[in-house]
Structure 1
Amino acid sequence: MLIAMFGAVESGIIYAIMALGVYLTFRILDFPDLTVDGSFVTGGAVAAISIINGVPPAIATIFAIGAGFLAGCITGLLHTKGKINALLAGILMMTALYSINLRIMDTPTLSLLNETTIFTQLQTILGNTGVDQALNGLLTAMGADRLPSTWAFLLVMLVITITIKLVTDFYLKTEIGLALRAIGDNKRMIRSLSANTDNLTIIGVGISNGLVALAGALIAQLGGFADVGMGIGMIVIGLASVIIGEALFGTKTVARATIAVIGGAIIYRMIVTVALRFDFVETGDMKLMTALIVIAALITPKIVHARKEKQRRLQKRAQLHQHAKGA
């Protein structure tokens, strides 16, 4: 169980990057972008085919970010310049990306098991630390298997994700970032101030899908393969991470909201890992569990709020009754 939870945290940190991208479109821009399911695969496909063709993993990952950014920009163009509904523009781009991803990979699945990836390079550089050796020795004494990765490697991925979070926070406080936030709140007001809302929307959706593609590239390298179907349901996973994080940690500030998204992604992966440990749950039930988790995350805060509101009204009524008796 410990090893499974370790793996959940490990993958959750990477999925948090994708969740940050979803947060930018759904919460900042108020743009229901379904391109995510396609751009996630695009990131994995571009990174995988680049690595197979001898491109260094770091450069291949940058290529993946660029491909995701381009896909997001096209979605933004379809919406702003083509005057297509935001939801439909995302669906159209997601559909188109399925064929594009197949063209990129030239096969439904690409294996990276025998290739050098960012993670194999990290493991070579970091090696096993003293903490890892001590912990793995303890696990062996307890009859458990060794950890699937090093603590140092996990720390590096956490630092990368937190760095992206801090850069996102800084960007959203710049002039362009404030304009993006304002577009999500009141697009007409920003347009009345002569701001080019179309270009800002295109840039925002592009950045969002660039982050999603980065997560796809990292997941492909972590898992050792890129698959044309690996992006199915990614938008729901991203939304689950955002909603769970906001419900647990709050959204008073942008910095708090982004750290909540990261926490939500990790907690989501842990919930799924625990659920899969039950005998009656099959691997194919994962999408159903994702939907149930999102439903629970959406309904629970409203139920809690309704109960608090009911208690408040009862207390107010009791106070008025006591005041009337006193009079």
Structure 2
Amino acid sequence: MNRFSAWLLAAAGICTMLPGPGAAQSFRQPIRVVVPQAAGGGTDIVARLLAPGLSRELGQTVVVENKPGASGQIGTQQVKSSPADGFTILFAVDHSLIIVPLTTPGVRYNVEKDFVPLGQAVRTYWALSVPASAPYKDFREYVTALKRDPLARTYGVPLAGGATDVIGQAIGKHAGVQTVPVPYSGSGPVIQAVMGGQVPVGLTGLPEAMAVYRSGKAKVIAISGNARSPLLPEVPTFGELGVGGLEFHTFLGFFAPKGLPPAMAQAFNAALRKTLGDPAVLDKIRQMSLEPAPTTLEEAGREVDEASRFWTKSLAPKG
């Protein structure tokens, strides 16, 4: 073997040890999933449920970190400012990503400009609950009460603005009266107020409403969405009851900073969908009164686009 041939073999050996284009786009260190809500809440619980499966499928440790504050802005902004290298991922509810920037001045992120959707995990709906002792047993009787009794026109909400305002205003318009939201510090306090008769009705996520519905301490009389929930098939949608424009749902999904390599986005999405196919994971999701929502990258992106258009129109100043 001459020197030139030996040099070529040595060079080839060195090249095989160097990372190729695909290696630079793989998950090669622990992944940090930022949840912009407090520990112990629904978003946090789902993130921690999915983390072991994602870790197994991606071959890396997945660590969940809570960065709550300012309706999800703090954690969301932190992920936006992180490198688009796949090692910092956001797991958030659509409210903090889509609605908060539309309703809160000074928010420094935009879901379509600053993030890449990696896939949805679960979805749920908004539920209208009344005390078990309420004089109205269904939505139509509640609307009758709204028309004749001003005291029935307040409703408890877990947050100010966004979906709850849209629902409350639509109910008021349907009844021909002015409804008044009463903000609480979360869905738990709203449900407690409903059970205690402190508010005539409450708007919360379906999981919180289901907990007291099963106990018999409150009744669910309507839900958002374009079809009845399989978790509560006996309860009609607002649309069925004649209140239009409330066909939306709420979703929890994963997002990366804009610029994430497509190969990494595909790998994460595949891992997520496989994790959501695990029977044990599915069983726990359904026990939480949530619906599993595995999506492709294209489906996730399309739903974000549709939600952004819907809320931009719905929350635009009237007049």
Q: Given the two structures, how large is their TM-score scaled by the length of structure 1?
A: 0.21
Higher strand share: 2
Higher helix share: 1
- Bigger radius of gyration among the two: 2
Which protein has greater RCO, CA pairs closer than 8 Å, 6+ apart? 1
Q: Given the two structures, how large is their TM-score scaled by the length of structure 2?
A: 0.21
